[in-house]
Amino acid sequence: MILKTRNNLPKGISYKGKVRQSHFKFIYDLTYLRDGKMVFERNIFKEFLRIISDANELILIDVFLFNSYNNNGSFPNLKGDLTKALIRKRKENKDIRIVLITDEINTFYGYYRPDHLEELKAYNIEVIVTDSGMIADSNPFYSFFWRLLGINRLGVEGKGRIPNILSKTSSKVTLRSYLRMFNFKANHRKVLITESEGLVTSFNPHDTSGNHSNIAFLVDGEIIQDILESENAIKEYMTGRRIFLTSTPSQDNGTKAMVITEGKIWSELLEEIRAAKSGDRISMVMFYLAENMVINELIAASKRGVDIRLILDYNRDAFGLTKVGIPNRPVANKLCSNSDIRIKWYNTHGEQFHSKMTIFERDNKIILIGGSCNLTRRNLKDFNLETNLKVILPKNHMESGKVLNYFNRLWNNEDAEFTLEYKKEKMFVRTIGYYIQEWTGISSF
């Protein structure tokens, strides 16, 4: 088959679980400047380590970035600390099942055998590096020839002669590993589950991502089995085996949650935007906003009288490299030129505003959609592996207040300068670049 399409994805990809009763906790990381000093509110990784420590039967982690590329000692040692935590748990409990699923970016597309992954294997921890061949081809102009010419069968072994573009301090890699990378697709999920808890997040345990702002949703009950079912789609494809787990139902406290992955995130998001009416409010924190139908539906909702506020990353910083503002800056111009949508930029200082969450305030309830998924063609249309949760809360729920207080704190700059006012920019060339990249799949977002 010359192209992998969305019509021939493995069973279980693009998954929608049942609506489940679940306890829910909202967690976030923030980086900001206060009185001339950088402040780091780091909570998600602490929860990561706590969940691992409390596990008894199963730990399954699926994360996109799990490496120390470019860490010169000025970033948290997340990769090392997570590795130690998993090995410590194995030493404490020889019977617990531990599975780590990650993306091939951490091996530079098959060229490296990272020490930390090999060390985990040595302690009988199952490590699965996802084969991107299971995902639909996001860059068909390239992938067609990559398959047709048999480049996909060449392997990536040999003497590295090209610098690793992702890490100045890593050894050189082969051209063939770059050729694999140019398919532009990934296992972008960020999930941690045990027999009793599940964490779905925008956070990567990746050293140079350690200062990013992120969000996370913590849940329990039968929804853990749904998250596991979505992870079994990867595990079964890669190993031919599944994991079985029976979770205890959560007590009814008025909170409900549902697992959505890949394209199901897109359909659920569009459904909620379309359902919004005059008097409702949509608030969003987002690293990348680019998908055309989502943008058009936000504009239509604004014209219906829905109050819409967006806090976006300026798309300026990427691990020491300077970006040109694509896609968010051209998209912001389009949104503000065609609607009453209000936009602010998160005030970053070398890190990224990496959060991915949409908040719907409607009648007496709050609906949240958040997790790993950026709102781009690749993330929403089955070209990446993604996991989000859709959470429904009573408006008077403690966690509803926590979510709204979080957003309002950033929007109103309550105790620091978190956000900057949007100003229209001249973006003609970058707007053309954005449309080309979003349409073709030849992009970094």
DSSP string for residues in 303-334: HTT-EEEEEE--S-EETTEEP--TTHHHHHHH
Please compute the mean of the pLDDT values over residues 374-399 and round it to a whole number. 96
Say yes or no: 269 and 217 in one domain.
Answer: no
Window from 24-38, 53-67, 103-117, 416-430 with minimum mean pLDDT: 416-430
Domain endpoint, select from 239, 271, 303 = 239
Average pLDDT of the chain to the nearest whole number: 94
Residue 250 lies in a domain: no
Say yes or no: 349 and 278 in one domain.
Answer: yes
Taking 80 as the threshold, does the pLDDT of residue 2 lie above it? no
Number of other residues whose CB lies within 10 A of the CB of residue 315: 27
Q: Which residues, 6+ apart, have CB-to-CB distance to 282 below 8 Å?
A: 273, 276, 298, 301, 306, 307, 308, 309, 358, 359, 360, 361
Say yes or no: 12 and 42 in one domain.
Answer: yes
Say yes or no: 210 and 90 in one domain.
Answer: yes
Q: Which tens digits make up the pLDDT trace of 18-58?
A: 999 999 999 999 999 999 999 999 999 999 999 999 999 99
Looking at residue 320, its pLDDT comes to 62
Amino acid at 29: D
Say yes or no: 24 and 82 in one domain.
Answer: yes
Q: Which residues, 6+ apart, have CB-to-CB distance to 20 below 8 Å?
A: 221, 222, 223, 226, 250, 256, 257, 258
Under 8 Å between Cβ of 42 and 283: no
Domain endpoint, select from 214, 239, 264 = 239
Residue 352 lies in a domain: yes
Say yes or no: 271 and 224 in one domain.
Answer: no
Residue owning tokens 């010169």: 72
Question: Which letter does DSSP use for residue 98 in this model?
Answer: E
Residue 260 lies in a domain: yes
Say yes or no: 344 and 294 in one domain.
Answer: yes
With pLDDT > 90 as the criterion, what percentage of the chain qualifies?
A: 77
Looking at residue 252, its pLDDT comes to 82
Residue 172 lies in a domain: yes
Window from 79-88, 89-98, 192-201, 435-444 with minimum mean pLDDT: 435-444
Say yes or no: 12 and 110 in one domain.
Answer: yes
pLDDT class of 310 with cuts at 50, 70, 90: very high
pLDDT class of 193 with cuts at 50, 70, 90: very high
Residue 49 lies in a domain: yes
Residue owning tokens 């690749």: 378
Residue 1 lies in a domain: no
CATH number for the domain harbouring residue 293: 3.30.870.10
Domain containing 290 equals 256-440
Domain endpoint, select from 239, 266, 286 = 239
Residue 246 lies in a domain: no
Split into its structural domains, the chain has a count of 2
Residue 249 lies in a domain: no
CA–CA distance, 422 with 173 (Å, rounded to integer): 41
Taking 90 as the threshold, does the pLDDT of residue 3 lie above it? no
Say yes or no: 272 and 410 in one domain.
Answer: yes
